[in-house]
Every structure is written in C-alpha cells, then in structure tokens.
Amino acid sequence: MPPFLSNTLPDTMRAMVLHRPGEALRLERRPLPRPAPGQLLLKVEACGVCRTDLHLVDGELPDPRLPIIPGHEIVGHVVALGEGVTGFVSGQRIGVPWLGWTCGRCRFCTSGRENLCDAARFTGYQIDGGYAEYSVADARFCFPLAHGAALEQAPLLCAGLIGYRALRLAGDSRRVGLYGFGAAAHIVAQVLRHQQRPFYAFTRPGDTESQDFARSLGATWVGDAGQPPPARLDAALIFAPAGALVPAALRHLEKGGCVVCAGIHMSDIPAFPYADLWGERMIRSVANLTRQDGLDFLELAPRVPVRTAVTAFRLEDANEALARLRRGALQGAAVLAMG
Ligand SMILES: [Zn+2]
Ligand SMILES: [Zn+2]
C-alpha cells in the first residue's frame, strides 16, 4: 500500500456489478480501488439510482465497459488522495457526477462544451461508479459538498444537474411543462417555484400519486400526459423516456417555444405535422453536464432550498430499487445508503 492510504482502510469492499446487460447486478467483494495520480478515493455514503442506470442495465446504452459498477450520483468523503491532487482534503464531503473525464483538447472541450467531448468518459458507464462501499474519481470532476444528509444530496448530482441544464436550455420561458414527474422534475419544480415561474406537471395517465406530489410542490396545473394544459407552454421539459411525448408536448407549445428532451435514451419519436413545429418552435436534447452546470446548480440549490424526496435502499437491494424505478413505483428519487 502506498503511504497515502490509511492503514485503517479495508483491503476489500462490497459492490454491485453489472456483467451483462439484461442480467441482474451481482453483489461481489472486490479489492479496494487505489487512487491513481489526480484521483480521490472516497468512502461512499450514498449513491442515487438514476434512470440512466436502468437504461445501462437494460442494454439501451451502447458500449458500456463491462463488468461495470453503476452509479453516478455519488456522495462520500475523501479517505485518500492520489499524487498531485490539490484543493481537497481528507475527510471532506464530495459529490461525484456523471461526467467523469474529458480530453480537454477537442473542439468541444475548448469551447465551454465539455459535455459534448468526443472522448468523454462517464461515471458508472466507462468508469466504475458508486454502487459500492468505496470509489475512485478524478478530482477535477468532483464537487465539494457541505456536510449534511448524504441521502438527500445524492439526487442533486444527476437529477438535479441535468434537470437544471434542461431548464437553462429552455431560456427564460415563463410557463414550463414537466413531462414525467420523477427525481429530476421534483427538483426542477422547486427551482421554478423559487423563480416564481408557473409549472405544469404531466404524468402517466391516472398516476394520482405523482399528481398529488406535483401539486404539493406548487404546480399550477397537473394532468395526464395526453391532456391539454389550460394555457400554451413556453417550454416543455421531457424527463420520461417516451418518444410519443415529444409531438404531444409540441402541440401545447407557444410560438417560439422549446421542447427539451432531457433523457439519455428515448423510444422513437412518432411523425407529426410540420404545422406543429412551425412558428419557430424547437425540439432539442440535453447531453450530460459541464462542471460549470454543477458549480452553478450546487450554489443555487441551498438558496431555493431544494429538498429532495428519497426512498432509501441498501446496497445489496440495488436490483429492487431499479425494478421500482422501471415500474414507476417511486416518489422522488431512489438512493442506495451504504450504512
Ligand atoms: Zn474533449
Ligand atoms: Zn443520471
């Protein structure tokens, strides 16, 4: 063991590992990872369960590195620093997001769009993530976090960041529709209320639980995804992976408005008449995050203040958490608590 690893650390850790898409994650004992130069070793306290993890497990994302430990909403504290790390200290609370590494040289990295880096690597996809007791991460992509409830911070790191980026891409739209009222939407809803912008929550037909939840967070209107809202929307943020929502949202959009697709995967988008797009309406996607998105959102969140609704699961119950997310049987966000 190099000198920077405390001798109080164990030699092994428990982790939930994906070997093949379509299979359940397996609980395994793994050697404790060592921080390479520039990396932090953290003891994971909590890791959010994101819909992207579900797409990974279900084989809907291309070319994952296998076997892989999923999880990219990691909250933990630093237990060892790799050579050359500056700006972090042992014991510090940190967050590790989806964007795990970028090349720093491509045309995207050098123009403030590192989220589009050609060679980017992502936590829990190409880099082992947080469904484990320990994890290593490139310090340059980690965020310092205040000490507080780790469980409630975890969803901020993807649902929060991606939701915030989606909202930013919708500009200063006044009336905002939220399609799919899960982890991301319940955070964006609080930001919208803080900014005194009315929001309209669309859920699966008959999902009265999510509708009540949206109402409790201040929705101006709630309804089924097929229902028309009482006013035209200036923007619609789509967090559910259903392509049919795109033309549905477009039909309720004001001229010049924008439909923002915030998920990494979506079923095919059905054809729609050009007249629905006419009037300078736009459809766009959100891909990943930049570190600046993270810094900006994590600075804003305590001022709102964003309070996340979480359902906690044990590490070994990650498959159950994913199954609940797949069925839509969760309010807010699922989070693994490492205990
Ligand atoms: Zn790059
Ligand atoms: Zn995510």
**Tens digit of pLDDT for each residue in 138-171?**
999 999 999 889 999 999 999 999 999 999 999 9
Ligand nearest to the CA of 110: 1
Ligand 2 centroid from CA 183, angstroms:
10
Structure token digits, residue 182: 């899960």
> Closest by alpha carbon to 95, among 70, 67, 123?
123
Name every residue whose Cβ is closer than 8 Å to that of residue 300 and which is 6 or more positions away in sequence: 164, 191
Ligand 2 centroid from CA 278, angstroms:
32
Count CB atoms within 10 A of the CB of residue 27.
Answer: 15
Ligand nearest to the CA of 72: 2
Q: What is the spatial distance between Cα 208 and Cα 5, in angstroms, rounded to a whole number?
A: 51
Dihedral class, residue 87 (left if φ above 0, else alpha if ψ from -120 to 50, else beta): left
- How would you write the pLDDT of the chain (339 residues) with one tens digit per residue? 344 555 689 999 999 999 999 999 999 999 999 999 999 999 999 999 999 999 999 999 999 999 999 999 999 999 999 999 999 999 999 999 999 999 999 999 999 999 999 999 999 999 999 999 999 999 999 999 998 899 999 999 999 999 999 999 999 999 999 999 999 999 999 999 999 999 999 999 999 999 999 999 999 999 999 999 999 999 999 999 999 999 999 999 999 999 999 999 999 999 999 999 999 999 999 999 999 999 999 999 999 999 999 999 999 999 999 999 999 888 889 999 997
Ligand 1 centroid from CA 20, angstroms:
28
Ligand 2 centroid from CA 154, angstroms:
11
Q: What is the spatial distance between Cα 331 and Cα 311, in angstroms, rounded to a whole number?
A: 8
Ligand 1 centroid from CA 101, angstroms:
9
Ligand 2 centroid from CA 158, angstroms:
5
Residue 2's pLDDT is 46
Ligand 1 centroid from CA 258, angstroms:
27
Ligand 1 centroid from CA 285, angstroms:
19
Tell me which residues have their CB within 5 A of the ion that is ligand 2.
50, 52, 158
pTM for the complete prediction?
A: 0.94
Residue 50's pLDDT is 95
Q: What is the spatial distance between Cα 239 and Cα 332, in angstroms, rounded to a whole number?
A: 13
Ligand nearest to the CA of 113: 1
> Closest by alpha carbon to 302, among 172, 170, 145, 79?
145
Ligand 2 centroid from CA 120, angstroms:
15
Ligand nearest to the CA of 73: 2
**CA distances, 275 to each of 100, 173, 233 (Å):** 41, 21, 16
Ligand 2 centroid from CA 209, angstroms:
23
Ligand 2 centroid from CA 286, angstroms:
12
Q: Report pLDDT digits (tens) over 233-271.
A: 999 999 999 999 999 999 999 999 999 999 999 999 999
